[in-house]
């Protein structure tokens, strides 16, 4: 298979090491991989290459990968997009899917998991339902994420809505969610 025959995949993540490991792994799985480390470059590459696939990090520097998902879908509604994140929340997963991502994976995700997600077009009705309620800390984190999404990622506006100091909200958002 020549480079021209391989499907285009756009990888956008500000983690240079992660990209340097993932790129050759995806190339071995027959993708032509283009990397961007910020949203602006990701959009420019997408406009030039019109990728069939994209793997987008939720947080790219201080920017939201959700904006890139929205832009990619506006360029080509058939682009298969997987959202990756180390900061998984229900609110961001829902928004990613609403905007057009086909799957949402938490880091660390390996190349096989990503490729499987890129080719998965249907949900899985056999997924086990957790009977245990979320912990109070996890509920707080989920609520903060929901309010932040309602304010389009604007931390100052979300802090005002939560009646919380902006820096306090930033500190809470920088923490990883509590594992359940």
User: Could you give the CA distance from residue 107 to residue 89 in angstroms, rounded to a whole number?
Assistant: 12
What burial letters (b/e) apply to 16-40, b meaning 16+ CB within 10 Å? eebbeebbeebeeeebbbbbbbbbe
Strand duo 80-85 + 103-106: pairing: parallel
Strand duo 8-12 + 32-36: pairing: parallel
3-118 folds as: Rossmann fold (3.40.50)
Cβ–Cβ < 8 Å for 14, 38 = yes
User: Could you give the CA distance from residue 77 to residue 2 in angstroms, rounded to a whole number?
Assistant: 26
In order along its 180 residues, the chain shows pLDDT tens digits of 555 689 999 999 999 988 999 999 999 999 999 999 999 999 999 999 999 999 999 888 888 898 999 999 999 999 999 999 876 777 788 888 888 999 988 887 889 999 999 988 766 556 565 667 667 777 787 788 878 878 878 889 989 999 999 898 888 877 666 565
Question: How many CB atoms within 10 Å of residue 170?
Answer: 14
- The pTM assigned to this predicted structure is 0.74
CATH value of 136-174 in 1.10.3210.10, 3.10.180.10, 1.10.10.60, 3.20.20.70:
1.10.10.60
Domain boundaries, the chain: 3-118, 136-174
| Preceding amide of 104 cis, omega within 30 | no
């Amino acid at each position: 298979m020549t480079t021209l025959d391989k499907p285009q995949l756009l990888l956008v993540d500000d983690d240079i090491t992660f990209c340097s490991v993932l790129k050759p792994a995806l190339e071995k799985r027959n993708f032509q991989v283009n990397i961007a480390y910020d949203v602006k470059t990701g959009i420019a590459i997408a406009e030039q290459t019109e990728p069939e696939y994209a793997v987008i990090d939720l947080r790219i520097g201080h920017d939201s990968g959700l904006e890139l998902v929205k832009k990619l879908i506006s360029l080509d509604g058939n682009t298969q997009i997987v959202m990756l994140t180390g900061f998984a929340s229900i609110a961001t997963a829902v928004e990613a899917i609403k905007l057009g991502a086909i799957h949402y994976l938490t880091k660390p995700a390996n190349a096989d998991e990503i490729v499987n997600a890129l080719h998965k077009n249907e949900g899985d009705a056999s997924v086990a339902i957790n009977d245990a309620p979320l912990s109070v800390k996890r509920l707080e984190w989920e609520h903060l994420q929901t309010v932040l999404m309602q304010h389009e990622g604007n931390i100052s506006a979300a802090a005002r809505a939560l009646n919380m100091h902006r820096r306090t909200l930033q500190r809470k958002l920088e923490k990883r969610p509590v594992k359940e």
